[in-house]
């Protein structure tokens, strides 16, 4: 019994904030499948995601209450502080699901406020961590996880669009504030992505350094695309916003092109990562390298950041469908029809890998309690 208590306490103390990427991924795949007209699967994922979100929030609150010093130490460490932004994105994603599946605008608005406060707190810690660091240290710390700054900022705008009422007398101010968040995320992406591109292509980047968070290089422009498309469709239909709508749509297309260009590189790097094993790779790995996320003993490969791969895949599906609707270019829906199922498959494999990682090597037994 003591051993079980120690395992639970250790799990709370060391709760990895990146597990909220599981909420992000499950939520956006659910939203994408709803847009693909598969409401049955989408609603199952929504229910599952609500359970994940509540469970992880309980873990985070318990850690804040019982291990506050440990939590603050993570927030004051730059590589870990980025990860807490997954809570912001996860919360906004659940809010989007509440609006889409339950039309629960009031509850979604509460989650939006919580996410906004979380974003402000995380950004304060990140800025605090950056102050005093040398330029070289900051440059060396940049990776795919850094782009969570962009994703979290834009996620605030994304849910905000769905919560605004275009008919409200003060809607113009709200849409301008949301557009400003979206534009700020766009500028941040160009700034950060340029430095990540330099690191990936023009410096000594090793294959062993490749990890799932680099998929956010595609996920960030994908959420920019989804939010831009939503803004284009929901902006007030008045002459004052006509030019702004046209600019937003062109910027949205540009973001989608950027995200699309990333996909071949990301797929190739993933294949190289998963097929790089001691000796000849088994046939099942060669056929579908991502199967290592769920299967195998010697070759099983899963870590919590693996969920960072799923969210961009689901987001690309959702954003392409939304862009097709906003622009009238229906041919874009064909892309989502195939990519959406690929995203669901990777989600399933990553979930199996997660469940496998939670199985203790030595289960708690009654004998342990007696010995304790």
In the prediction, which pLDDT does 1 show? 56
Instruction: Tell me which residues of the chain have a pLDDT lower than 50.
Output: 365-372
96 in Cβ contact with 158 (< 8 Å): yes
Write down the domain spans for the chain.
2-371
In the prediction, which pLDDT does 96 show? 97
Spacing of C-alpha 256 from chain mean position: 17
In the prediction, which pLDDT does 360 show? 61
In the prediction, which pLDDT does 366 show? 40
- For the domain spanning 2-371, the CATH number is 1.50.10.150
Q: How far apart are CA 84 and CA 343, in angstroms?
A: 24
The verdict on pTM exceeding 0.85 is yes
Across 235-269, b (16+ Cβ under 10 Å) vs e yields bbeeeebeebbeebbebbbebbebbbebbeebeeb
In the prediction, which pLDDT does 242 show? 81
In the prediction, which pLDDT does 298 show? 87
In the prediction, which pLDDT does 309 show? 95
pLDDT tens digits, one per residue of 200-217: 888 877 777 899 999 999
Query: Shortest CA distance to 216 belongs to which of 172, 272, 153?
Result: 153
Q: Which residue has the tokens 């990776």?
A: 143
Burial (CB count <10 Å: 0-12, 13-18, 19+), residue 142? middle
In the prediction, which pLDDT does 169 show? 57
Q: How far apart are CA 317 and CA 342, in angstroms?
A: 10
Q: What's the 3-state SS for the chain?
A: CHHHHHHHHHHHHCCCHHHHHHHHHHHHHHHHHHHCCCHHHHHHHHHHHHHHHHHHHHHHHHHHHHCHHHHHHHHCCHHHHHHHHHHHHHHHHHHHHHHHHHCCHHHHHHHHHHHHHHHHHHHHHHHHHHCCCCHHHHHHHCCHHHHHHHHHHHHHHHHHHHHCCCCCCCHHHHHHHHHHHHHHHHHHHHHHHHHHHHHHHHCCCCHHHCCHHHHHHHHHHHHHHHHHHHHHHHCCCCHHHHHHHHHHHHHHHHHHHHHHHHHHHHHHHHHHHHHCCCCCCCHHHHHCHHHHHCCCCCCCCCCHHHHHHHHHHHHHHHHHHHHHHHHCCCCHHHHHHHHHHHHHHHHHHHHHHHHHHHCCCCCCCHHHHHHC
pLDDT tens digits, one per residue of 229-272: 999 998 877 677 788 888 999 999 999 999 999 999 999 999 99
């Amino acid at each position: 019994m003591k051993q079980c208590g120690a395992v639970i306490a250790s799990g709370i103390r060391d709760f990895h904030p990146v597990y909220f990427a599981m909420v992000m991924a499950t939520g956006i795949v659910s939203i994408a499948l709803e847009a693909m007209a598969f409401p049955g699967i989408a609603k199952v994922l929504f229910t599952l995601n609500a359970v994940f979100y509540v469970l992880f929030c309980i873990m985070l609150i318990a850690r804040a209450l019982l291990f506050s010093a440990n939590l603050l130490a993570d927030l004051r460490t730059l590589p870990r502080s980025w990860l807490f932004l997954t809570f912001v994105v996860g919360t906004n994603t659940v809010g989007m699901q509440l609006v889409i599946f339950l039309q629960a605008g009031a509850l979604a608005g509460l989650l939006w406020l919580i996410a906004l406060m979380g974003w402000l707190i995380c950004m304060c810690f990140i800025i605090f961590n950056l102050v005093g660091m040398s330029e070289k240290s900051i440059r060396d710390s940049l990776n795919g996880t850094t782009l969570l700054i962009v994703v979290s900022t834009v996620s605030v705008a994304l849910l905000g669009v769905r919560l605004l009422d275009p008919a409200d007398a003060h809607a113009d101010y709200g849409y301008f504030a949301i557009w400003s968040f979206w534009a700020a995320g766009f500028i941040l992406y160009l700034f950060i992505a340029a430095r990540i591109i330099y690191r990936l292509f023009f410096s000594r980047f090793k294959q062993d350094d490749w990890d799932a968070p680099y998929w956010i290089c595609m996920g960030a422009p994908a959420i920019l695309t989804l939010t831009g498309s939503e803004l284009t469709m929901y902006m007030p239909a008045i002459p004052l916003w006509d030019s702004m709508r046209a600019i937003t749509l062109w910027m949205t297309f540009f973001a989608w092109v950027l995200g699309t260009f990333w996909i071949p590189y990301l797929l190739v790097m993933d294949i190289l990562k998963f097929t790089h094993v001691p000796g000849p790779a088994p046939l099942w790995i060669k056929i579908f390298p991502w199967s290592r996320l769920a299967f195998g003993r010697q070759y099983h490969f899963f870590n919590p950041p693996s969920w960072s791969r799923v969210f961009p895949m689901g987001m690309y599906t959702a954003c392409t469908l939304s862009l097709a609707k906003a622009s009238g270019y229906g041919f874009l829906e064909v892309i989502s029809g195939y990519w959406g199922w690929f995203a669901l498959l990777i989600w399933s494999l990553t979930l199996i890998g997660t469940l496998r990682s939670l199985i203790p090597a030595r289960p708690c037994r009654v004998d342990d309690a007696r010995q304790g």
